[in-house]
């Protein structure tokens, strides 16, 4: 599982001109699923993300988690995080999970985020999306599990 977590002031997702997700103050999470990923890996990663201290406290120090701030999240399925660019000029995506497994684990990731108390919206699996990210900081964290 590969994840890019961005701390945002606002974020949104649109598909075919209609907005399907929008948040203020929280995280936009780009989520790539690999063929060996499991529900256990998903739960562990969600716990790490929801406890990660990347938000400012009253003195401006990065000392709070999304749980502490009451922020929201948008999760966007992003198979391109598994791009293999070692050969040629066209990335290969054969290292990404097959769509059935990826869809199942993306949905499970969202449910786990919600179970942690984080209001979580999502993009649309398999759709061409426009993702708006107003990165705050900028704070961008890359994770792999």
Whether the link from the prior residue into 138 is cis, omega within 30° of 0, is: yes
3-class secondary structure, 101: helix
Q: Can 79 be counted among the known catalytic residues?
A: yes
Q: Can 121 be counted among the known catalytic residues?
A: no
| Active-site residue, selected from the candidate residues 19, 24, 47, 80 | 80
| Active-site residue, selected from the candidate residues 78, 109, 120, 121 | 78
Structure tokens at 18: 């209609």
CB 77 within 8 A of CB 129: no
CB 112 within 8 A of CB 46: yes
| Active-site residue, selected from the candidate residues 42, 50, 55, 79 | 79
Active site residues: 78-80
């Amino acid at each position: 599982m590969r994840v890019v977590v961005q701390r945002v002031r606002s974020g949104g997702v649109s598909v075919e001109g209609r907005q399907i997700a929008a948040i203020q103050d929280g995280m936009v999470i780009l989520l790539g699923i690999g063929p060996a990923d499991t529900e256990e890996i998903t739960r562990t990663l969600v716990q790490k993300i929801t406890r990660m201290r990347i938000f400012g406290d009253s003195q401006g120090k990065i000392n709070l988690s999304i749980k502490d701030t009451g922020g929201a999240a948008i999760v966007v399925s992003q198979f391109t995080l598994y791009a293999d660019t070692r050969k040629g000029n066209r990335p290969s995506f054969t290292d990404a999970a097959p769509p059935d497994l990826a869809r199942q684990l993306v949905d499970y990731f969202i449910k786990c985020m919600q179970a942690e108390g984080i209001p979580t919206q999502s993009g649309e699996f398999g759709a061409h999306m426009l993702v708006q990210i107003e990165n705050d900081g900028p704070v961008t964290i890359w994770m792999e599990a």
